[in-house]
């Protein structure tokens, strides 16, 4: 059963949560129902699976709360950046703004992402990259609701440190040295300037430790500057390959472990692939690429810079003989969305990202499904969240 039968259900459930539930809850937890629903559609899930996911996702969601003030223009849009109290006001503002563009959600997005004293394109990389993922889902599914949600999240999740790095004058100058993503990660892994920054353990939610450390922040800026962006096609393949290594090649030998935050890397890379063609100017495509790379570097540091071992991609039980994307999709549909490992939407999202990246970068058609099979069969739970009894990656002491 494909998207044709599931799409009406997706549209109805997306509209329902859009009207009824706030994007960010009072405790700071995000409403991930829209991207969860999108993931099921991408994986060719059934209407029953969509309904099951929706009911699971909304269990603890609360309704929108009124904002202190309305947002009526670009000046106000900038004034309240980073203040979640204004999420309802931002959503209302963008809902009204779309009429000015003849109902074109793409025109709405480009206007607000690329204009103003603080263009919202910089907000795409805040909030663990959720605005970025919402926007790429919106583009793939051609849904105006998720465009407005992405813009609203870009505003309320706004992070000044990310904006400061991506607008730093150093990035306007030619880099003394340019390197591939894997080469940069190799240098990050041994950089003494980053030692001891994450004193309280792993977790991207503690990324402020990097931003508040001037030496560490300068190092991050340096690594953003060094990324070789001269060949976008080659860079896309390199980032895709790195995403597999960071998620599936950083555990200890014989002790499979998968980091929650590093599972975002293939998701970000796939979002980058989707969105690049939406931006006409080279400077905006470069900014989008650097923003995603910044997220990856920050994530690698917050997760304590694990050892990267390419041989681990083929470790563990060999995949079944007919290991293919068709067999993986069939397994997903047959078992049901709320059964076993398929209860975890982050896992499904990572698998789906590997699927899409493999379409573009898997030269022999076998590497990506094998890595996805490793993730699906060896995954038990996520590590990297900072829990007392969770597993750990191969961290240098």
pLDDT at 320: 56
Same domain, residue pair 145 and 224: no
- Predicted model pTM: 0.96
Residues 151 and 182 in one domain: no
Q: Are residues 40 and 163 in the same domain?
A: no
- Write down which residue in 92, 126, 158 finishes a domain: 158
Q: What integer best gives the mean pLDDT of the chain?
A: 93
Q: Give the closest residue to 248 by CA, choosing from 156, 350, 157.
A: 350
Q: Kindly give, in sequence order, each residue whose CB lies less than 8 Å from that of residue 72, ignoring residues fewer than 6 positions away.
A: 93
- Region 11-37: mean pLDDT is 96
User: Which residues touch 342 (CB under 8 Å, ≥6 apart)?
Assistant: 332, 335, 336, 348
Using one digit for the tens of pLDDT, what is the confidence trace for 112-147? 999 999 999 999 999 999 999 999 999 999 999 999
Interior angle at CA 375, CA 2 and CA 318, nearest 5: 105
Report, as an integer, the average pLDDT of 163-189. Answer: 97
Do 193 and 301 have their domain in common?
A: yes
Structural domain span for residue 388: 159-397
190 and 91 in one domain? no
CA 242-265-237 angle, to 5 degrees, is 40
**Residue 24 in this model has a pLDDT that exceeds 50:** yes
Total of domains in the chain: 2
Please give the pLDDT value at position 366: 84
Same domain for 84 and 99? yes
- 105 and 187 co-located in one domain: no
Domain boundary among 158, 191, 215: 158
Give the pLDDT score at 1: 44
């Amino acid at each position: 059963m494909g998207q044709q039968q599931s799409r009406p259900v997706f549209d109805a459930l997306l509209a329902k949560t859009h009207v009824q539930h706030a994007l960010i809850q009072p405790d700071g937890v995000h409403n991930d129902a829209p991207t969860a629903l999108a993931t099921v559609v991408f994986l060719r899930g059934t209407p029953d699976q969509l309904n099951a996911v929706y009911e699971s996702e909304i269990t603890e969601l609360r309704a929108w709360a009124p904002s202190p003030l309305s947002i009526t223009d670009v000046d106000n849009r900038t004034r309240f950046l980073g203040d979640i109290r204004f999420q309802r006001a931002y959503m209302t503002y963008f809902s009204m703004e779309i009429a000015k563009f003849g109902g074109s959600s793409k025109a709405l997005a480009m206007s607000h992402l690329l204009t103003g004293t603080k263009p919202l394109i910089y907000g795409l990389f805040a909030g663990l990259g959720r605005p970025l993922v919402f926007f790429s889902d919106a583009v793939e599914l051609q849904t105006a609701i998720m465009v407005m949600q992405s813009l609203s999240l870009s505003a309320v999740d706004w992070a000044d440190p990310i904006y400061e790095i991506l607008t730093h004058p150093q990035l306007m100058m030619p880099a003394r040295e340019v390197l591939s993503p894997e080469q940069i990660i190799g240098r990050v892994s041994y950089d003494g300037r980053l030692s001891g920054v994450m004193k309280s353990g792993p977790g991207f939610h503690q990324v402020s430790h990097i931003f508040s450390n001037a030496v560490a922040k300068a190092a991050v800026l340096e690594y953003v500057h060094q990324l070789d962006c001269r060949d976008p096609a080659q860079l896309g393949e390199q980032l895709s390959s790195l995403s597999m290594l960071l998620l599936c090649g950083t555990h200890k030998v014989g002790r499979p472990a998968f980091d929650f935050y590093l599972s975002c890397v293939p998701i970000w890379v796939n979002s980058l692939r989707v969105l690049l063609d939406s931006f006409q100017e080279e400077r905006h495509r470069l900014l989008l690429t650097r923003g995603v790379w910044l997220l990856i570097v920050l994530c690698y540091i917050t997760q304590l810079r694990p050892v990267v071992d390419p041989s681990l991609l083929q470790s563990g039980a060999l995949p079944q003989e007919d290991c293919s994307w068709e067999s993986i999709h069939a397994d997903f549909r047959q078992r049901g969305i709320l059964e076993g490992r398929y209860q975890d939407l982050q896992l499904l999202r990572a698998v789906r990202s590997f699927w899409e990246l493999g379409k573009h970068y898997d030269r022999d058609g076998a590497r990506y499904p094998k890595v996805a099979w490793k993730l699906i069969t060896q995954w038990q739970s996520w590590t990297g969240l900072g829990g007392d009894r969770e597993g750990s990656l191969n961290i240098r002491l």
